[in-house]
Amino acid sequence: MNASRRVPAFAALFGLCLSGPGTRAQTGQEKPGAKSSTGKHYSLPANKDTVQWGWFDPAEKPKLVVESGDTVSIETLRHGMDEVKPGASMDDIVKLRLANPGGGPHSVTGPIFVDGAEPGDTLEIRIKKIVMKDTGFNFNLPGKQFPTVGLLASEFPEGHVEYFKLDLKTMTTEFKPGIVLQLKPFPGTIAVGPDPNEPKEKAGPPIHDAKGRTSTLRPWKNGSNMDVNELQAGSTLYFPVFQKGGLIWTGDSHCLQGNGEVNLTALECSFQEIEIEPIVRKDLHIAWPRAETSTHWIFMGFDEDLNEAMKIAARETVNFLAEQKMVPMSREEAYALTSIVGDCRVSQVVDIRKGVHCMIPKAIFVKK
């Protein structure tokens, strides 16, 4: 494939062009409908004034106002406003969970207001860099007290917590002597402002509190607690915009997670910085979050019923393939191709709304 050849389909759907089969889209190029950049860089530290515990509030005063194409380095905290730290016991963690009823355990930094973002637009968020802090943890809550929290909660009645020292040079941690884990950091929670038409909860505590805030527990169309482990540095996310300014939050930082996140938590950690570049897209209109890595396009679905989440992700994948112009195909052909090469993975099953993400490899598109 000619390195300079633009691919009309992705320009139309994502506004990107490819430099070759299986290579990263050239996201640095200016896109039709994208608001121009001022090129400024900002830092947003994590503290009691910039971090909220377990809730997204569109009425929260923005902590930063940036232009489309600016970059922001965001610091994040561990769960419970940084209180889940080495030395915290299971009793301490339970108390923290009970202290914020209905809200998530997540400490989320934000919101960041992106000038020009309006409801109906798409906010493209490029993850440029992730720098971890040096400790992590994993826990499951006591099943006898939280019988529905965690996939096998009833089989683990007492709860358990482990803390880990993270080696930032080797990007590894020792699980226990004889087991070394390769770290792959990504934001477990990254969101734009809540969808005002988000449906009422089918399970679990109320989505909204008396103040009108939205719990961080569940993933939805605005992203939130997606736990998609492909969203590492170099990836790009696409969110439908529901609030003026987009409103970006991130937290629930993960340093490693298996698909499913079955015991409730990943290798949870916090970031010294996650550098993002938000871009307002006036030319792109989507219904559900999407993402792109160097090798794949990713389509997401969330629902309390795992089968429904799978249908949403698969349908989004079929829609993309049927609408792209790289290699035109019928909807029936798109359905078949999704079945043949689509890799649909269970993102998580522990956030009330289950998540599925379907991945299409870029390398299959070889038309010259």
- Distant-in-sequence, close-in-space partners of 4: CB < 8 Å, separation ≥ 6: none
**CATH for 212:** 2.60.120.580
**313 domain-assigned:** no
Q: Using a cut of 0.85, tell me whether the model's pTM lies above it.
A: yes
**87 domain-assigned:** yes
Beta strand pairing call for 354-361 and 271-281? unpaired
Question: Residue 100 CB: number of other CB atoms within 10 A?
Answer: 18
**349 domain-assigned:** no
Q: What is the mean pLDDT of residues 78-99?
A: 98
Would you call 5 helix, strand, or coil by DSSP? coil
What proportion of the chain, given as a percentage, has pLDDT over 70? 89
**343 domain-assigned:** no
pLDDT per position as a tens digit, 235-293: 999 999 999 999 999 999 999 999 999 999 999 999 999 999 999 999 999 999 999 99
Q: What's the pLDDT score for residue 41?
A: 98
pLDDT per position as a tens digit, 11-36: 444 444 333 323 333 333 345 567 65
**267 domain-assigned:** yes
pLDDT of residue 95 exceeding 70, the answer is yes
Instruction: Identify the domain containing residue 215 by its residue range.
Output: 33-286
What mean pLDDT is reported for the chain?
A: 92
Q: At what angle do helices 306-323 and 331-341 cross, to 10 degrees?
A: 120
Domain count, the chain: 1
* AA letter at 69: G
Q: What is the mean pLDDT of residues 127-152?
A: 98
Would you call 333 helix, strand, or coil by DSSP? helix
**309 domain-assigned:** no
pLDDT of residue 5 exceeding 80, the answer is no
pLDDT confidence tier of residue 152, bands split at 50, 70 and 90: very high
Decide if 73 contacts 275 (C-beta within 8 A): yes
Q: What is the mean pLDDT of residues 142-171?
A: 98
More confident residue, 99 or 36: 99
**4 domain-assigned:** no
How far is CA 249 from each of CA 46, 57, 153, 289, rounded to the nearest angstrom?
11, 10, 29, 15
pLDDT confidence tier of residue 367, bands split at 50, 70 and 90: confident
Decide if 194 contacts 214 (C-beta within 8 A): yes
